[in-house]
Amino acid sequence: MDVLTLREKMKKNWAGRLVLLAASKLYGAGVWLDRISHENGWQAVKSVNSRVVCIGNITAGGTGKTTAVLLAATTLAKEGIRVAIVSRGYKRQQKEKDEVVVLFDNPDADWRLAGDEPYMMSRVLSQYKVPIVICQDRARAATEALRRFKSQIILLDDGLQHHRLKRDANVILIDAKNPFGGGHLLPLGNLREPLTALQRGALFVLTHCEQVTERELEEVKDTIREYNDLPEIVESVHEPEYYMDVCKGQKVELKDIKGEVACFSALGHPETFENTLKGLGLSLKQVWRFPDHEHYTQDNLRTFEQTRNGLPLITTFKDFVKFPDNWREILTSGVYVLSVNLKIRGGEEEFNKFTDALYPKFSKMRR
């Protein structure tokens, strides 16, 4: 039984909920102590000679953070701004706590040493020459990014709860489908911090807005404004672009795959990926779900191949990079990766709010 299944089972009886509530109180005390110890100088806060912008969230699970980091990095890089991404590389294999891994012009790097999300981002951003520096100590990673690449802006990936590295702005992502984690801290709910953390936001990006009503969006905005009524709030959607036939190395238009398909993913919120496929008019005949950041094995791939009954097999880029090295010997055809981009709604004016939070000089540069 995995952790999420156990949690849901415990929520169904008063004793289990009491245990989860007690654990949430302990977790909250730890979060509070870590934050105030940095704010009061009891633990050191590192500054670097570069603009640092955190793109993070207050809930556990998929809010669309990776696509937001990709949008920020590509937008800045296209304008000639030297940008680097700093990440802890969640669940990566590491030898030492302060070990630094750099993804830059090394497509043959082992994703296990970097983490699945940083490795996926490096593949997407390779044409823009955006380095990704991975270390559990994000301050050390930022120092390395500045030393090696003279970065004008450092994007701190998923670092809202990391206080050791001083940042100039926090861009906070809120999943419109499940914005506030059930109102409770982990593990009873999905909140990483109390809602007072919203006070630290310089910009809020609501994600997955295409999957909720306008009334629900306004309710989310009203809650944000109860805690922070100064920053801008922009809406975004996750927009499918194309499929990549990974066996042939060719792009496939969305309209070219129809009818019944099989799919699999290891994501924080797999239903978001599955709903996107349904929104494209596909019928999900077979669905496999794995824990977030799961490593795929040869046996996993054999199961897909033996039971999909010849249907197209669709997954995400994040999942594809975790295929075992000999995957081509098992999956020989009909395997597709869905490419999805984050798009800010509302045209140029709203998009400028996003870029101004990243780099205030950006709008002036474009004029």
Spell out the residues 6+ positions from residue 91 whose beta carbon is closer than 8 angstroms to its own: 115, 116, 293
Q: 165, 162, 203: which is closest to 68 by C-alpha? A: 203
Distance between start and end Cα atoms, the chain = 56
Asked if 57 contacts 159 with a C-beta cutoff of 8 angstroms, the reply is no
d(CA 233, CA 105): 36
d(CA 51, CA 154): 6
Q: What is the pLDDT along the chain (367 residues), one digit of tens a residue?
A: 677 778 888 889 999 999 999 999 999 999 999 999 999 999 999 999 999 999 999 998 778 899 999 999 999 999 999 999 999 988 788 767 788 999 998 877 888 888 889 999 998 999 999 999 999 999 999 999 999 999 999 999 999 999 999 999 999 999 999 999 999 999 999 999 999 999 999 999 999 999 899 999 999 999 999 999 988 999 999 999 999 999 999 999 999 999 999 999 999 889 989 999 999 999 999 999 998 888 899 999 999 999 999 999 999 999 999 999 899 999 999 999 999 999 999 999 999 999 999 998 766 555 4
Structural domains in the chain, CATH included, are 3-39 (no CATH), 51-238+343-366 (3.40.50.300), 240-340 (3.40.50)
pTM of the model: 0.92
Q: Which long-range contacts (CB under 8 A, 24 or more apart) does 162-165 make?
A: 162/54, 162/88, 162/138, 163/34, 163/35, 163/38, 163/39, 163/43, 163/45, 164/38, 164/43, 164/44, 164/45, 164/46, 164/137, 164/138, 164/139, 165/45, 165/46, 165/48, 165/52, 165/86, 165/138, 165/139
